[in-house]
Amino acid sequence: MASKDHANSSHATFDLFVQAKTCQEVKQHFSELCRQLQLDSKDFRGFYTKLKERLNYWKAKALWTKLDKRASQEVYQQATACAQNKCLVLGAGPCGLRTAIELSLLGAQVVLLEKREEFTRNNVLHLWPFTIYDLRELGAKKFYGKFCCGSLDHISIRQLQLILLKVSLLLGVEVHTGVEYKGLIEPTGEKGWMAKLQPQSHPAAAFQFDVFISAGGGRFVPEGFKHKELRGKLAIGITANFINRKTAAEAQVPEISGVARIYNQKFFQDLLNETDIDLENIVYYKDDTHYFVMTAKRKSLLKRGVIKKDYSNAEQLLAPGNVDHVALCLYAHDAAYFSTGGKLPELQFAQNQAGQHDVAMFDFTCMQRAENASLVRERRGKKILIALVGDCLVEPFWPLGTGIARGFFAAFDTAWMVRSWAMGVLDLKVIAERESMYQLLSQTTPDNTSKKYSLYSIDPTTRYQSVNLSAIQAHQVQHLYDVDKGS
């Protein structure tokens, strides 16, 4: 009887873990599950196998089937390919988490750091078909039943993080929230590469690693990497989230998967005539919220009083002191109302992390892109492989919805690089291959990448239709191998 009770309580905790809706809830139910099943979450190597053995619960089985299928891909070599590697991943955004999952499937010890305690971004990400397939295969639907129902091809950033966090924990990734990465500490004496953290006394500060993945989001550039600025014409993005009450009437309102000015001149002209709002494009997704992202023209923002004073410099133009927040809310509201034909009459703003109306204006005039995706550093004979993934590698232009797809490609390419490194491929060759793949990234589209999603793996040849891993040669990346003179 006692053991039945025991099983029942771990089953109930597993259900709570699966359904958890905040980062802290996920972590709390996960540690309770580990306690009940007498599992040590730091025992990363055997963690997933032991979890499966001890949690003999029918509801979990469908999830194990999915994860087992992924884990059985040849590239992982039954979780031995990177068994000797210790990886620190910075950032629990979707790309940091997705990379952490791949590294743990390769058998590496993975510690992930996130400075925030909660996932709060309502904004919605467009998913390319391969990302939907990928996430389904990781069990996304088990964690979030509404995941990409019917023809939906989007998800809120928050929900995506929750799904990936749950998968990461089940696979043995050690996730620490509320801890900020402050820089690398070079090896001394017996000690290897470590990280300076805030709080300084955090247990993860003692972790020694040989792979460091930065997935810290846009504009986060770890030491040693340079960003190039891609300056285009002024592009002002506005995002707005309104409460979705999920009524039958709201369900009827069609989404706008991207109306660009060139395709629908009349729509934009009518919008301008009726509201003085002038847009380049607009997207509307019905998700946890009613989410709108649009690119607005400067003149109309000035005319509606959203921007107070005109400046030629985008930074000055969009500086918080030059933006009237109430006028911005009205602008976003009116654009949303018009573009949905007035069928969302009760447009009430959802709240952001700060408890304010979830509307924001972003400058996309100047986009950042890292000059290179990886490097190797060696100090006192100890090497570290450093790589960038996600927005800190290439900043996406949100209205085009390329962020997650290219972010996941970079996550897979990075995992492939770590695997090559673990298998003893020469440092410069590892970097050269990674840089060769990186050259392709910004050109990838759903049409020019393989549609055989079931064959996708971290091996780049399964995804890119034509990839030349020797496009960049070892001698061209010598500057990315940074060794101290004493070594």
Residues engaged in binding ligand FAD (CB under 6 A): 90-96, 113-116, 121, 123, 125, 157, 180-181, 215-217, 220, 239, 293, 390-391, 396, 398, 401, 403-404, 407
Element (H, E) at 227: strand 227-231
- Nearer to ligand FAD (CB atom), residue 64 or residue 397: 397
Of the pair 192, 407, the CB lying nearest ligand FAD is at 407
Strand locations in 178-226, DSSP E?
Answer: 180-185, 194-198, 211-214
Comparing CB distances to ligand FAD, the nearer of 48 and 412 is 412
Kindly tell me which of 178 and 305 has the beta carbon lying closer to ligand FAD.
Answer: 178
Q: Which is nearer to ligand FAD, 387 or 404 (CB)?
A: 404
C-beta of 113 vs 317, nearer to ligand FAD:
113
Q: Based on CB atoms, which residue is closest to ligand FAD, 177 or 340?
A: 177
Nearer to ligand FAD, 180 or 186 (CB): 180
Least distance CB 93 / ligand FAD (angstroms): 2
Smallest separation (angstroms) from ligand FAD to the CB of 207 = 14
In Å, what is the CA distance from 24 to each residue of 37, 118, 142, 395? 20, 7, 19, 28
Cβ proximity to ligand FAD: between 55 and 113 the closer is 113
Spatial neighbors of 249 by CB under 8 A, at least 6 apart, are 343
Smallest distance from the beta carbon of 216 to ligand FAD, in angstroms?
A: 4
Alpha carbon distances (Å) from 72 to 68, 77, 420: 6, 8, 18
What is the nearest approach in angstroms of ligand FAD to the Cβ of residue 159? Answer: 12
> What's the min distance (Å) between Cβ of 487 and ligand FAD?
28
Nearer to ligand FAD, 293 or 318 (CB): 293
Which amino acid would we find at residue 146?
Answer: K
Compute the least distance from the CB of residue 122 to ligand FAD, in Å.
9
Report the C-alpha gap between 485 and 487 in whole angstroms: 6
Q: Shortest distance, CB of residue 270 to ligand FAD, whole angstroms?
A: 25
Give the integer Cα–Cα distance in Å for 463 and 183. Answer: 33
What are the φ/ψ torsions at residue 292 (nearest 5 degrees)? -125, 135
Q: If you ran DSSP here, which 8-state letter would residue 458 be given?
A: S
Q: How far is the CB of 427 from ligand FAD (least distance, A)?
A: 25
What are the residues whose beta carbons fall under 8 Å from the beta carbon of 180, sequence distance 6 or more? 113, 115, 197, 198
- Closest CB 320 distance from ligand FAD, rounded Å: 14
| Contact in structure between 444 and 393 (CB atoms under 8 Å) | no
**How far, in Å, CA of 107 to CA of 44, rounded?**
9
Cα distance between the two ends of the chain: 63
d(CA 431, CA 218): 22
Tokens found for residue 139: 């069990």
**Beta carbon nearer to ligand FAD, 187 or 396:** 396
Please, what is the minimum distance in Å from the beta carbon of residue 248 to ligand FAD? Answer: 27
Q: Least distance in Å: CB of 392 to ligand FAD?
A: 6
β-pairing, 289-296 vs 359-363, is unpaired
Tell me the residue length of the chain. Answer: 487
Is residue 342 within 8 Å of 449, Cβ to Cβ? no
Q: SS3 of 88, please?
A: strand
Are 383 and 376 in contact, with CB atoms under 8 Å apart?
yes
Plot region of 77 (φ>0 → left; ψ -120 to 50 → alpha; else → beta): left
Rounded distance, CA 180 to CA 220, Å? 13
